[in-house]
Amino acid sequence: MIRIAWFASLLALCSIVDTTRCAAQDRLDPVAMGKARASVASVRGIGAIASNPGALDLPATHATTLDQPLTLSIYDIGGTVGSTYLSSSDFKQIFGSNAGWPDQDARARLGVLLQDERLFASGANNLVTLRYHTPDAGTFGLHYGHRAYARLNFPDDFSRVIAKGELLLDQYRFINRGVGGTWFTELGLSYGKAFGGTSTPGWFPLVGLGATARLLNGVAQFEVDENSSIAVDQKTLGGTRAYIIQGGYVVRSAQPEGLDPANAFSEFEAGLFPATSGTGLGLNVGISGVLYRMYGEGTAPAGKNAIYFGMALEDVGSIRWKDVAYERSQTGISDTLLNGTLSNDQFRAYQGTLRRTDGYSTNLPMVFRAGLAVDVGAYARDLAGTLIVDLEGELPLNDEPGNSPNPRLALGGDWAISNSFALRAGLSGGGVAGFGIGLGIGYRPASWLAIDIGSSEVNSIFTGNRADLAFRLSAGF
């Protein structure tokens, strides 16, 4: 087997990402999170930096969205994290002193933690986010923060082998389904420009284009090569049950000198500019705007926005890990066991050979998102406040950690009941959760201050599978 300590070291490293330190782009926008992440068509204001840069220069659709020329937010937080990654105390107990690793107690506790539904993380914190709108030259944005992605898709009974050393009665297959994680910081510069009029009726009267260029500094990374696999088959040799183990694996990792996974959480909390082991570039591009503006038929006023649209291509880019990069491999495994258990010594026999490498590259978890939104008030004239309903689809474009292997569809609503308070809710299917319920609120206690909080998977929080939350405090000047 792949040396279990390497898996666990990644888990320990990823435990730096707790409920308040998480986000892959749109997960950093609490407005989107409250609508089950249905936002690509209607996002406005400072949230556009995270959800769709094409909307960066477009006017606000809700009174709770800050519309001042300069908008600033400090320490945005949000994301989706499996509960396994929150068990930093467990990892410190298991790996704080790993002399004699692995002992049976540590293996048993680790086996409990290795559950697929709890082994996904996509998150970050933005230490600063800035949006500046000019009257004629478009809108600029800037952000700096941490990002962390991780996914450990183990076979369902892998934890049984880890915890008890028991092989399956018939056969066992470990085929890599996406095991890896990445932690990096990024500095992003955004620009958006709107084209068209704010009152002209008809189709596509207002369109916005935008992009975010990102400078990436990789802190730490871990991955299992996609061709890694282990097969265990049962046979009878001379009347004795035997297990034939065949296969091989390659594990790559990069981290700064002296990084201690057991204490990585405190380093992430305190370090604004952590040591790095790689560099890269990333790009987000988007388009958004008004799809249809009413002509004023019947009782509808002329110039009333009715339907919005949006599309975004996110996380185009890669990171080159070259400063402190390692590879551990064990290929051509062919072994026969005459009983159904693996001893600790036998585990160590499969730990492979560790060697320094010249480096390697990993891609960002690229996705394409598209959606439509409807201003319900354009058709229901008696509706109080402003209610916008979004429909969004997300398609992963690669199988990198941070992406789900499945597409996602979400339906969400944002109802600004008054100029200072908004309720948000949504439903999603597919993606990581399979099914998610979004809830959120927006509060604007003063003309210059806005508070937004949202969760795209309230149901997962209650079941204990994942923690999903985003929060933003922003000010306008």
How do residues 198-241 score in pLDDT, each as one tens digit? 778 899 999 999 999 999 998 888 887 777 777 777 777 777 77
Contact between 196 and 258 under an 8 Å Cβ cutoff? The reply is no
**H or E stretch covering 8:** helix 4-14
Nearest to 56 by CA among 123, 131, 165, 114: 131
**In the predicted structure, residue 335 carries a pLDDT above the cut 70:** yes
Task: Yes or no: say if 114 and 84 are a contact pair by the CB < 8 Å rule.
Answer: yes
- 181-193 per-residue burial string, b: 16 or more CB within 10 A, e: under 16: bbbbbbebebbbb
Under a CB-based contact definition with an 8 Å cutoff, are residues 326 and 90 in contact?
no
Over residues 430-448, the pLDDT tens digits come to: 877 678 899 999 999 999 9
C-alpha of 466 from chain center: 12
Q: Which segment, 121-125, 145-149, 207-211, is predicted with the most confidence on average?
A: 207-211
Task: Give 191 or 95, the one with higher predicted confidence.
Answer: 191
Does the global pTM surpass 0.85? no
> CB atoms < 10 A from the CB of 358, how many?
7
Q: What 3-state DSSP class applies to 272?
A: coil
Highest mean pLDDT among 1-5, 94-98, 329-333: 329-333
* pLDDT band (50, 70, 90) for residue 359: confident
pLDDT of the residue at 109: 65
Nearest-10 crossing angle of helices 4-14, 88-95: 140
What are the tens digits of pLDDT across the range 1-49?
A: 334 444 444 444 443 333 333 334 667 899 999 999 999 999 999 999 9
Q: Per-residue pLDDT for 169 more than 80?
A: no
* DSSP SS3 for 271: coil
Instruction: State residue 231's pLDDT score.
Output: 76
Position 450 pLDDT exceeds 80? yes
Alpha helices in 175-285 (DSSP H): 264-270
Q: What would the mean pLDDT of 312-321 be, rounded to a whole number?
A: 94
- Report the C-alpha gap between 44 and 415 in whole angstroms: 14
Lowest mean pLDDT among 295-309, 356-370, 397-411: 295-309
Phi, psi of 322 (to 5 degrees): -140, -20
433 backbone dihedrals φ, ψ, rounded to 5°: -75, -30
Distance (Å, whole) CA 279 – CA 316: 14
**d(C-alpha 70, C-alpha 476), whole Å:** 6
**Is the bond into 301 cis (omega within 30 degrees of 0)?**
no
**Under a CB-based contact definition with an 8 Å cutoff, are residues 475 and 79 in contact?**
no
Residue 20, classed as helix, strand or coil, is coil
DSSP 61: S
Q: What is the pLDDT of residues 236-280, one digit of tens each?
A: 777 777 777 778 778 888 877 766 655 555 554 445 667 788 899
Q: How many CB atoms lie within 10 A of CB 356?
A: 9
Among 27-41, 115-129, 315-329, 459-473, the minimum mean pLDDT is found in 115-129
How do residues 374-405 score in pLDDT, each as one tens digit? 999 988 888 888 999 999 999 999 878 777 77
How far apart CA 315 and CA 330 sit, in angstroms, is 32
Q: How far is residue 80's CA from residue 270's CA, in Å, rounded to a whole number? A: 21
Tell me the C-alpha to C-alpha distance, in Å, between residue 447 and each of 34, 62, 344. 22, 13, 63
Comparison of pLDDT for 42 and 88, the residue scoring more = 42
d(CA 147, CA 266): 16
More confident residue, 417 or 166: 417
- CA 432 – CA 460 distance, rounded (Å): 11
pLDDT at 322 (0 to 100): 83
281 by Cβ neighbours in 10 Å (0-12 / 13-18 / 19+) ranks as: middle
Between residues 359 and 233, the one the model is more confident about: 359
Lowest mean pLDDT across 18-22, 68-72, 326-330, 405-409: 18-22
% helix, strand, coil for the chain, step of 5 = 20, 50, 30
- Of residues 53 and 179, which shows the higher confidence score? 53
Residue 159: both structure tokens together? 């934890």
What 3-state DSSP class applies to 417? coil
Q: CA–CA separation, 252 vs 127, rounded Å?
A: 29
Higher per-residue pLDDT: 321 or 89: 321
181 and 149 Cβ atoms separated by less than 8 Å: yes
58 close to 477: Cβ distance less than 8 angstroms = no
Q: How confident is the model at residue 64 (pLDDT cuts 50, 70, 90)?
A: very high
Q: Collapsing DSSP states into helix, strand and coil, what is residue 80?
A: strand
Angstrom distance (rounded) from CA 21 to CA 138: 31
Q: How far apart are CA 115 and CA 172, in angstroms?
A: 17
Neighbouring CB atoms inside 10 A of 376's CB total 16
DSSP secondary structure string, 118-150? Answer: G-EEEEEEEEEEEEEE-SSS-EEEEEEEEEEEE
Structure tokens given for 275: 């040591």
